Chain A
Amino acid sequence: MAREFQRGHKARISDLTAGTDLYVGVQIASPGLTFDISCFGLDADERLSDDRYFVFFNQPKSPEESLQLLGAQAGDTESFRVTLDRLPAHVHRLSFTAAIDGAGQMSQIGPGYIRIVAGGEEVARYPFTGSEFTTERAVMLGDFYLKDVWRFAAIGQGFDGGLEALLKNFGGEVAEEQQAAQQPMGAAPAFAPPAQAAVPPAFGVPPQASQTPQIPHAPQPAPSFGTPAASPPAPPQTPPSAYPPPQRNPQIHTAHTIAAPVFPPGGAVPPPPPGDGLPPQPPQFGQAPGQTMPLAPPAPFGAQPSAPYGQPQGVPAAGAGLQAALQPYRETPTGQRWTPQNQQLMRVELGIGGSAVLARQGSMVMYQGRVDFSHKSAGYVGRKLGDATGQEMQLMRCSGRGQVFLAEDAAQLHPIELQGDGICVSAENVLAFDETLQYEIRRIEGHGIPGGALFTIQLTGTGTVVVKTRGTPVVLPVTPTTFADANAVVAWSSASQVILSSQVRLRRNAYPGHSGETVNLQFRGAPGNFIVVQPYEV
């Protein structure tokens, strides 16, 4: 029986399972983000005294193989094998952490978990979601720790500064960047899950030479985080083929404003804040003088350090200054034609492909260079839609040479790259698309749809279409019973067939507060088709 943990819960491993050969799976995912999931083997002082017990993608196992990184399998983004009774005596705590590689925040992640599997059976699970976090870029998910016996604690403690801050928190050395830089870039192969990745999440009595799949990473000197560019990008997790891998911005690590570990390592008193006009830490209102942060077990909630307010203290606000504060929002490097700047802003590079871009009027927030904007004169789409629905769907044609930044109402943007296939997008949800795509209007008529009909744009060919959604969408496979609200559906693969389904209920008019959800779209199609639905009914 899996026991559900909540943040802060602790339990003895022996209460969960009799085994000591455990599988630890972590699932954490978010569209467009990649994660570095690692395990720190810490000593009694919670320091990473031995680098060899920092298990991550470049060091997939500890010397005596008591800690091993297994890669993605069985629904887990990353998995580990932990043999507790083979751990050396100086390892007192194993901390499982996840850090966002590149730009992003933990608040963007979807539901995830860390789970313990013993003997093929899940015995513990700590679920978490992005709503528990804010701007953190790394999070300590759960710990195994030795206190008389091995125990497990669900931590859920975030760190603003990413993996680097985590590593510093554990007293590791951040860099050897020179060594890493000498590593030829070509030596990092693309992430390819091992062929026999279907290792069951169970370990019986493991033979000495286990069938642990080795992940083909370039052997690199151990902790080399200064150069994230050398790490191979994981494949994008999202189904509709087209979120480009996130841009890696090596500077992003160096610049975050405040890295705030709640419990500074080793009790070392951090230097006072930099000279920003604040007097150096007088004991403030409501705060015991000489208060030191709790050192040992990181009581993650409930036991908040009792310094509700007062003088800024603790970690200095690193990287002061205008440039540093704005660094996380920097324009991402140029390269592709369509580059997401963040979840809500898209940059399109005109002049590379030569062809123009059609965008919704009013969606341009900024441009650089010599760009011509003209009314889409052959505005068949716009006119037809405008005529029929009374709702303006005006397109403009952007051509020339330069960069155009597109956004609308802070809606989330998703570039979908079509390679000969087709997609139908609800007309309100199209932000922009390449002019090379063929488009045609499809009209779904039906009783009960506001405006009398639902207009969709079918796009086919080769190029990119940018779809906007309010909130994080869900992508569903088309099954014999797939239904969607006509107001919430955003897009679907054009091979699937749309049927209007009305639900007639006997008690339909029986009560005044009737939900109104009587008209749905049903989708039919061969396996492999999908639909995209947003959490917002236009």
Chain B
Amino acid sequence: MNQQLAGYAPTPVVARMENHGRTMLKVAMATGQDLFARTGSIVSYEGFIQYEPNPPAARQAAAQWVSGEGSPVMKCSGDGLLYLADYGADVVVIHLDDDAISVNGTNVLAFDAHLQWGVERVKGLAKLAGQGLWNVEISGTGWVALTSRGTPVVVDCGKGEDETYVDPDALVAWSPKLKVKGKRSFKASSLIGRGSGEAYQMAFSGQGIVVVQPSEDSTDRLRIRG
């Protein structure tokens, strides 16, 4: 039995953030290198790791994201290995090199605490009542981990003069340089996107990338659990 399981033992650490399999993130923590992770995403840790579920800084920054509840991110610090996951979603690790990315709130898993970040509401787009589309804009130099339900695809937006239209439920991340606007369905008779509610797309234009997941399940599982 041991031989069967041994294949899943941790691999040697080669970077601050790594995939362990498709769906788990391994973060090498060290003193002075704090991390913001989604509350409830820790599946395991090894070593001396402390986490602060409601850090004041994060609470302030994310005040709009969730009102009246705890902060959606927690601050982790210490020495050791931290394993994060979001209900079996694929994890994509990105090292930002003086770059910026705008991530859908549900698709953020973790990011280095020293990065600049802020929460914004996507303009021109109101989703179902009570639940807007929030995105976290992260910039600087450091590591970011995203989740995606299924293998994502990355599309260059600025190939043609045409805009790129994305189902907001399938949207994962985009370049903040892009211009975003919400778009209702074009014809009264057409019904695209989820059957329930209104049909929206988000229209992106400009030079940059858009990351899309192959699923229209945008449920924030980490929040549902509370």
A residues sitting closer than 8 Å to B (CB atoms) are: 6-8, 105, 107, 132, 134-135, 156, 257-258, 260, 262, 273, 276-278, 284-286, 293, 301-302, 304-305, 307-317, 320-322, 324-326, 329-331, 341-345, 361-362, 364-370, 372-375, 392, 394, 396, 402, 405, 407-410
Contact = CB atoms under 8 A, between A and B. Distances in A.
B195 A361 contact: yes
A321 B2 CA distance: 38
Interface in B65-104: 79-81, 92-97, 99, 101
A326 B193 contact: no
Interface in B93-139: 93-97, 99, 101, 112, 114
Interface string B16-29: 10111110000011
Contacts of A273: 14-15
B211 interface: yes
A310 B28 CA distance: 6
Nearest to A287: B13
Nearest to A368: B164
Contacts of B95: 257, 276, 317, 320-322, 324-325
Contacts of A285: 47-48, 79-80
B143 interface: yes
Chain B CB within 10 A, most for which of A313, A342, A364: A364
17 contacts: A134-B22, A277-B142, A301-B6, A301-B9, A304-B10, A309-B13, A311-B13, A311-B30, A313-B13, A329-B152, A329-B211, A330-B154, A331-B155, A368-B165, A374-B190, A375-B189, A407-B170
Nearest to A410: B150
A131 B186 CA distance: 45
Contact of B166 (A262, A293, A341, A366): A366
B52 interface: no
B14 A317 contact: yes
B96 A309 contact: no
B220 interface: no
Given A285-B79, A396-B190, A312 B214 contact: no
B214 A278 contact: no
Contacts of A366: 155, 164-167, 170, 210, 212
B213 A326 contact: no
A392 B196 CA distance: 13
Contacts of A344: 150-151, 214-215
